[in-house]
Structure 1
Amino acid sequence: MPFATAATGAASVVGYDLVGSATLSPVLAAAEGTTPSSGLLAWAAIGAFLAALLLASQGYREPARYLGAGAWIAFGVFWVTMVPYYYGEAQSPLKTILGLLALPLCLYTGYLLWAGRDSLLILTKAVACMGLIYLPVETIPFVKTWLIETTAAQTHFGMELLGYSPGLIEGSNGYVSKFGFDPNETVTGRTTYIVLACTGIGSMAIFGGLIAAVTAPLKRKVTAFALAVGVIWFLNLVRNVFIGLASPWGWFQQDWLVSFMTTYMGAEASRVSFLVAHNYIAQSLSIVALVGITYLVVKILPEILRPLEEALFVLTGTEYDLFEALAPEGTPARTDGGPDGEQADHDRDR
């Protein structure tokens, strides 16, 4: 997240990342804040996940477990390397905490897989699929440019609906994605620009990975994915407009809040509105959005509850039957034997 100095008056708007899923998704693996070595570590982990799944599909369960366990360890180490950035430059308490928790959670996941909990392979598959969705967007320049600049144009249109028309200019990231507010006319003298994280691609990759990992009729999988992407796109647009206006116009520049943030959080006074809007309000609401979108997707594709059950087991050590609790009425009983069953998915057609 390339924050510019006060002289340039720019700060990045970070897009709709469902941070509540940070330990399960590679959405920031090669995005702003990574070093070349940490980005390489993340992609190596994704590659190892895929190799482990290939071994498992060929019947080599034991080597698959060992390789998968190593991949989870590498994935956890990657998130720890992000903690200094989250704490320092990004000044995001929530992401800092999640980054710190990621290592023990990933280590424990790797241990469980190594010890023989093969049902975790579906969670491994989901994370690998998330990486496969995100990687082309990050590595193909024209796709990345199109996504960033299209998101910027849509965000600008949203601002125009509210009576603001700053125009779009080239930002320090090289994309025509910076909102051209006049620093002499705004409250804080700052403006914002769109980066890849603002596009919502990370959140889309999370749900895309979960949906791709399970076995279900194609029609329901496509419907669930379209619903998730549509809701994420809309909420991401609202979020970008909110942060993009709150930062220059000082919506949260109240004296008591500025004093608290500068004294105890080490923030620059002119960045307080941005930090409150982005790091506290938007990131907190993103967790609510994550739960809500998951609920909607489950109504269409209850099969995604299987990897979520595995995630809950890692977090709590308790087996859950989410299918029985949350699946829509009229859904046939699961055929995988419950949380302890060997079969990863339950087929259901409509």
Structure 2
Amino acid sequence: MLIILWISISLMLLSAILSGKNRYKRVIGAGGWTVFSIHWLQQPFHYIAIDDYVNVALTIAMSIFCLLIARTMYLQYTNRYTPMEGEIDITYMATNAIAIGSVFYFPFAEISALKEWLIGMVTNNIMWTLNMLGFSAYRAGNMITYNGHTVEIILGCTAIESIALFMGLIASVNAPMKKLLSAFMVSVPVIYILNILRDVFVVVAYGEMWFGPNSFEIAHHMIAKAGSGVALFVIAYMVMRILPEILELIDGLWNMTTEQINKLRKKV
């Protein structure tokens, strides 16, 4: 249910904006992560229906991960878990990253007017690029046709998920504005431009039938996805070179997760 998602985001946002001295900051954040885990726990039913068992496992794992963070924040609230001296505040950074990233993603995913605006803007940019490169394509709404083959531009073609992820991570770091701006410039605009080129490649490859009858599947599901993965890896590396705190966050979340799992196993 959508209401569950918005409740979790609202709680995490409230936790993020409260002063660090506010004793209720942690318990509110814990509540947000708990509700967020319920959101993820609803997703496996959809993936079971379409026999996508990889995503079934991933969404269940994400739900468990959210509960572990919620447990850690509650222990922090009750003064039973204190970060080591000099260690970054993992749960605070993670809550900020999810809250900020969600603000950038879910309005576009759940509000029809914003979704249509974003898809329309990306479709315009794809058409402009195709024309600049000399490919005579035409559009009808969010459908682009080239050489008699039509590609539909949907939300997944906008890269909003990756953009929101990097926006959340960058904004969660306490660093000088110059470094934050540098991290932003090597990630968000680059992701958007590369995504337009990716979409153009899929449209042209499908229209020209570069890879035979399965040109769309090969271009979109294999080549474009592999290219996107490599690009995101390089971009993430560049961002972490500028903001090493993000690497500390990832490492800290891993250590926190394994520590909490080991403690729970000992109690069983």
- TM-score by structure 2 length? 0.76
Asked if 1:312 corresponds to 2:245, the answer is no
Confirm or deny that 1:299 pairs with 2:231.
no
Assess if the C-alpha contact under 8 Å between 1:179 and 1:192 holds in 2.
Answer: yes
Structure 2: 5+ residue runs without aligned partners? 82-88, 261-268
Matches within 5 A, 1:240-259: 240-246=199-205
1:77-116 to 2 correspondence within 5 Å?
77-86=38-47, 95-116=55-76
Say whether the 8 Å CA contact 1:105–1:314 is kept in structure 2. Answer: no
Q: SS of the counterpart of 1:168?
A: strand
Gaps of 5+ in 1: 1-36, 171-176, 255-271, 319-350
Matched, 1:239 2:198: yes
CA distance in 2, matches of 1:277, 1:95: 22
Per-residue deviation, residues 33-70 of structure 1 (Å, max 9, x unmatched): xxxx1x3222211111122334562421xx43333223
The match for 2:138 among 162, 167, 183 is 167
* Equivalent-residue separation in structure 2 for 1:250 and 1:84 (angstroms): 36
Q: Does 1:128 align with 2:99?
A: yes
Q: What whole-Å deviation, never above 9, does each CA across 1:112-171 have from its counterpart, x for those lacking one?
A: 22233563121111111112223554567665444221211222344446654330102x
Aligned 8 A contact 2:12 2:95 in 1: yes
Give the AA of the match of 2:191.
Answer: I
User: C-alpha displacement at 1:221, in angstroms?
Assistant: 1.0
Query: How many equivalent pairs are there?
Result: 249
Give the structure 2 partner of residue 260 of structure 1.
none
State the shift of 1:240 in Å: 1.6
Asked whether the equivalents of residues 158 and 241 of structure 1 are also in contact (C-alpha less than 8 Å), the reply is yes
1:204 match: 163
Matched AA of 1:107: L
- Overall identity of the aligned pairs, in %: 32
Q: Secondary structure at the match of 2:151?
A: strand
Aligned counterpart in structure 1 of residue 34 of structure 2, from 73, 90, 97: 73
- Tell me if structure 2 keeps the 8 A contact 1:53–1:121: yes
Is the CA contact 2:40–2:59 (under 8 Å) kept in the aligned structure 1? yes
The 3 A distance-change label for structure 1 pair 180 and 278 is closer
Q: CA RMSD in A?
A: 3.2
* 1:226 equivalent in structure 2: 185
Highest relative contact order (Cα 8 Å, sep 6+), 1 or 2? 1
2:20 to 53, 57, 64: 57
How far apart are the structure 1 equivalents of 2:57 and 2:209?
Answer: 27
SS at match of 2:187: helix
Cα distance 1:101–1:290, how it changes in 2: closer, same or farther (>3 A)? farther
